[in-house]
Amino acid sequence: MAVDPVELERELDKGSGAPLPPNRPQGLLGDTGLQLTKVDDWAPDGTAGLSQESDGGVVLLGIILAYLLFFPLAFLILWRTPVLDVRRKVALGVLMLCGLVAAGTLLFR
């Protein structure tokens, strides 16, 4: 019982009705739902949303941790890092020196 593909297509096309409405589900309270046909032009990069060790925030946390544990290392990290610009390096260096002077005056009164 072989079926001719041309005849099958003709019979299937004969019974087709009106085209279906676009796939747009309604959102909460009947508002327009998600745009399901929108093509996202965003492409993932290699970081997968994780902070890298050369980010500014991670370097700043390293400087703060080194300042609390061994302050000469904090100055070394501060002035050797290419992440921060010179203006921020000077401001952070002055702030760290003020902290050292304040700690020194409190300890050696």
What residues of the chain score a pLDDT lower than 70? 1, 15-17, 20-21, 23-36, 45-51
User: Which tokens sit at 97?
Assistant: 């020196």
* pLDDT at residue number 49: 66
* pLDDT at residue number 43: 74
> 73 with 59: CB under 8 angstroms?
no
* pLDDT at residue number 38: 76
Segments in the chain forming alpha helices (H): 5-14, 56-69, 71-80, 86-107
* pLDDT at residue number 58: 87
